[in-house]
Amino acid sequence: MLRAVKFMLLAAVLLALAWWVGGLPGSVTAHAGPYVVTTSTPAALLLLLLIALLLTVLLRVLGGIRRAPGQFGAWRAAKRAAAGEAATLRGLAALAAQDARAAKAEAAKALKLAGETPLALLLSAEAARLAGDATQAKSAFAKLTQHKELKFLGHRGLLRASLEAGEHDAARQHAEAAETAYPGAAWTRAQRLDLALRTGDYAAALGLTQDKHEIAALATAAARQATTPAQALAFAKRAVKADPLFAPAVAALANALRALGKERAAKKALRAGWEAAPHPLLAEAWTPADATPLERAREAPELAAANPGHVESELLLAQADLAAKLPGEAARHAQAALEAGGDDGRAQAILDQLAGKPAQPSRFAWLCDSCHHAQPDWAPVCPVCHKIGSLRWRAPGTALV
């Protein structure tokens, strides 16, 4: 109903306008050389309207002819882009299906049809990587780093390629670039940590973890490889702060203090560690490496007094007396260690040695609490499962309390 009313109103307006034009008085005369044309005013207005309409149509036709090549090119470009997108989608499906041949073929089509778009480059790089073509993969990933949106993926691919090729310096550069492109990414942090562990850069690895056990292990390792006593002391303090009962950290702290000439502070740290959790590493660090056996036997009671009657205290005294050739005292303390529960074989080995019998090896070792790998020396990372801070001093087959 409303449309009908609108139509009737429009028709009425047009009819009124035509009626008004048709009733205009006067005439219009046009001169063109020897020709003179005279017509009424309504006819002249109608003629002008027709001329304007023809000019408008002509201009539109000429504009369409002028724009035709560009429109045709845009149509072709859109068609190629659509075909390139379809090839990209088929290539991604082939990647998911682990079909390297099909993925490379579709990647080539996508690059040819759509050009070096970010998605086409990513498809080409991953397809080449799946096919084992490291050169093409690196080239595509390098081009991908020039695109702002996918720069992270480009450096990520180059990082993996560098790690596979054993190029640790290049891998470190790409890891830093990936961190800049996408700050705070968990994947990048994990890769940087793994790279630091592979190269033994424990100081760098230390800043990439927040687990207290891992911090204690990495800081202890960093203290051991520090180039100056001051650096070693800073790392050792951080390790002890993360885990005050961690014997390698306490021993590293004592060694760093001793290297700075702070002997009293070193022994104070060792006594505190021994009182909290006696350990053979602390006993080893108690006296300087160049001390004589007799000096060790003379100084051992001072450390043992920090935790009297403990198995490790009795073993410390027994081993020091044995090295100083004090068999009576060595036997007494070894027997006391056995009575205190020292059944790991170390106390019995001392008694067997004093009796001239072949000693049985100790069952204690550094045991990984993840894969149960055992080794005689402590390390910040398990060499088998590569877990950080997983090595604990205990006998195989016993639970860690």
pLDDT tens profile 141-158: 999 899 888 899 999 999
How high is the pLDDT of residue 77?
A: 66
Strand-pairing partners, residue 27, are 40
As a whole number of Å, the CA-based R_g of the chain is 44
Report the C-alpha gap between 270 and 253 in whole angstroms. Answer: 9
Domain limits, the chain? 363-401
Alpha-helical (H) ranges within 225-262 are 229-242, 247-259
Is it the case that residue 378 has pLDDT exceeding 70? yes
Is it the case that residue 288 has pLDDT exceeding 60? yes
Is it the case that residue 172 has pLDDT exceeding 60? yes
Q: Quick one: pLDDT band at residue 18, thresholds 50, 70, 90?
A: low
pLDDT tens digits, one per residue of 336-362: 988 888 777 888 888 888 888 876 666
How high is the pLDDT of residue 399?
A: 43
CA atoms within 13 A on the CB side of 62: 6
Is it the case that residue 301 has pLDDT exceeding 90? yes
Which comes out higher in pLDDT, residue 368 or 25? 368
SS3 content of the chain, % helix, strand, coil (to 5): 70, 5, 25
What are the b/e assignments for 76-105, b being 16+ CB within 10 Å? eeeeeeeebbebbebbbebbeeebbebbbb
Hey, what are 256's tokens?
């760093």
157 φ, ψ (degrees, to nearest 5) = -65, -40
| Best CA proximity match to 152, nearest among 175, 176, 182, 110 | 182
How high is the pLDDT of residue 342?
A: 74
The mean pLDDT value of the chain amounts to 85
Among 40-49, 155-164, 171-180, 279-288, the least confident range: 40-49
How high is the pLDDT of residue 398?
A: 45
Is it the case that residue 98 has pLDDT exceeding 50? yes
Arithmetic mean of pLDDT, 163-177: 88
Which comes out higher in pLDDT, residue 128 or 84? 128
How high is the pLDDT of residue 84?
A: 79
Which comes out higher in pLDDT, residue 336 or 17? 336
